[in-house]
């Protein structure tokens, strides 16, 4: 699936703000919006489905080739349209569940569309991955999976999510995407004065904590069990949002590494390593004598990783920006410095949503490891970073995609690249 942006003669002063347009929806686009066309312009429409005919109100128009709209009336509905499981989300409601009107299986197909188009358009990769469901999600209708939530507080003390496309706090009756331990806190039913936001976290082993602005309440640490190992996460520390995400992603990473093989003596790296999840999972799979370095810029997460990997004699956690750490590695190579078998190494990257970026990708290419496993949470960033890696002499061996954010447009992917 490829979205073609045709150059057309559109008056830059054209403004359809406030107009209601009758549209036929063509396809999905990155960011959870859908594409229609009207009088030579692209109209991005939310909360619809390909094949639907709708009347949509234009809510944003800055002139040029496109504008944005939301549906006012569904004239012809898709057979994949369902009742939204969160009745206070949807058009004009709470944000964070923009795909809730779509059947779960179709949500995954649409995410595959976006990933396929990004890989083709940005990296020249012809591949349509199957987006896999996390264990238990189909049975639960994609609800009750979020172990992390951020709520906001307005001047009146009302607690809730933001209304979509705004900073207006919306009062909600429930938080159906959250795990039960977070829902039971009923923070959305409380009133807080002189507070800006509340961050909620729960573990799979029963701990719960919440952060009111900067003040931590509840359990001091969360405890997680993955791959037979224990991981401790300090208050406010990063962990995957979906309750099964750590298990799913670490499983995919270790399977890809096993398929290629790993040199336990090499300078293996776990970049953007957080609290040491992938380092620990790889050691559980390949032995406690695996040499691996977890690199993370956040001090608290690095301290957690040091504790979580303490029983592994050849694993260590380094607190440093990934770019600076790799710059030192590359500099040592340029000077002929001793680094343990960098060309035989496996490098795992799990960057933030923006991706690793050109500088880090260039540094990885300078090291020339045997195997790269790239964990991504944004299709565009993944495709952008894969292109130079493939041009730099790597072959994409496999790619798996996972639906770890049901009822949203987000999708996770894990790519395995081997040096030719």
- Residue 314 and residue 337 in contact, taking contact as beta carbons nearer than 8 Å: no
The DSSP line for 316-353 is EEEES-HHHHHHHHHHHHHTT---S-GGG-EEEE---T
Query: What is the token pair recorded at 175?
Result: 């938080």
Q: How many CA atoms lie within 13 A of 364 on its CB side?
A: 33
Query: What is the token pair recorded at 6?
Result: 């045709």
3-class secondary structure, 145? coil
Scanning the structure block, which residue is given the tokens 């496109």?
66
Q: Of the residues 8, 67, 319, 377, which is catalytic?
A: 377
d(CA 367, CA 341): 10
- Residue 20 and residue 57 in contact, taking contact as beta carbons nearer than 8 Å: yes
Rounded to whole angstroms, the maximal C-alpha distance in the chain is 68
Active site residue 377: yes
Edge-to-edge, what's the strand order for the sheet holding 66-76? 20-24, 53-60, 66-76, 41-45, 33-38, 27-29
Q: How far apart are the first and last CA of the chain?
A: 29
The DSSP line for 10-50 is --TT---TT-EEEEE--EEETTTEEEEEETTEEEEESS--T
For residue 127, the cross-strand partners are none
φ/ψ of 104, rounded to 5, equals -55, -45
By C-alpha distance, which of 94, 12, 22, 101 is closest to 58? 22
The DSSP line for 176-234 is TTB-HHHHTT-GGG-B-SS--EEEEEE-TTS-EEEEETTEEEE-SEEEEEETTEEEEEE
Taken in order 316, 322, 324, 328, is the CA torsion positive or negative? positive
Active site residues: 377
């Amino acid at each position: 699936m490829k979205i073609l942006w045709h150059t057309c003669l559109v008056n830059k002063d054209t403004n359809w703000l406030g107009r209601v347009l009758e549209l036929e929806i063509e396809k999905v686009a990155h960011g959870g919006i859908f594409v229609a066309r009207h009088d030579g312009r692209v109209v991005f429409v939310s909360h619809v489905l390909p094949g639907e005919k709708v009347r949509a109100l234009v809510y944003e128009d800055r002139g040029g080739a496109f504008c944005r709209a939301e549906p006012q009336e569904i004239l012809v509905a898709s057979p994949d349209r369902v009742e939204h499981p969160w009745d206070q989300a949807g058009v004009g409601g709470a944000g964070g569940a923009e795909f809730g009107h779509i059947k779960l299986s179709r949500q995954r197909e649409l995410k595959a569309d976006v990933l396929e188009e990004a890989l083709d358009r940005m990296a020249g990769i012809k591949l349509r991955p199957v987006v896999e469901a996390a264990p238990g999600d189909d049975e639960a209708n994609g609800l009750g999976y979020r172990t992390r939530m951020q709520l906001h507080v307005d001047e009146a003390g009302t607690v809730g999510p933001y209304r979509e496309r705004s900073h207006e706090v919306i009062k909600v009756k429930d938080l159906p995407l959250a795990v039960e331990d977070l829902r039971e806190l009923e923070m959305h039913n409380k009133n807080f004065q002189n507070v800006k936001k509340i961050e909620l976290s729960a573990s799979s082993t029963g701990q719960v904590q919440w952060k009111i602005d900067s003040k931590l309440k509840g359990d001091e640490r969360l405890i997680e069990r993955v791959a037979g190992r224990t991981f401790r996460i300090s208050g406010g520390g990063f962990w995957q949002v979906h309750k099964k995400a750590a298990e799913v992603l670490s499983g995919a990473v270790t399977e890809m590494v096993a398929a290629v093989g790993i040199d336990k003596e090499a300078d293996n790296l776990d970049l953007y390593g957080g609290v040491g999840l992938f380092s620990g999972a790889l050691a559980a799979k390949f032995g406690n004598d695996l040499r691996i370095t977890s690199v993370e810029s956040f001090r608290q997460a690095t301290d957690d990783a040091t504790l979580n990997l303490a029983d592994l004699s050849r694993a260590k956690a380094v607190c440093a920006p990934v770019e600076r750490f790799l710059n030192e590695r590359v500099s040592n190579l340029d000077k002929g410095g001793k680094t343990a078998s960098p060309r035989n190494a496996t490098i795992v990257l799990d960057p933030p949503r923006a991706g690793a970026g050109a500088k880090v990708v260039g540094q990885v290419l300078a090291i020339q490891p045997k195997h790269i496993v790239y964990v991504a949470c944004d299709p565009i960033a993944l495709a952008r970073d894969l292109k130079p890696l493939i041009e730099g002499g790597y072959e994409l061996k496999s790619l798996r995609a996972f639906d770890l954010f049901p009822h949203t447009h987000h999708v996770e992917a894990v790519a395995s690249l081997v040096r030719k």
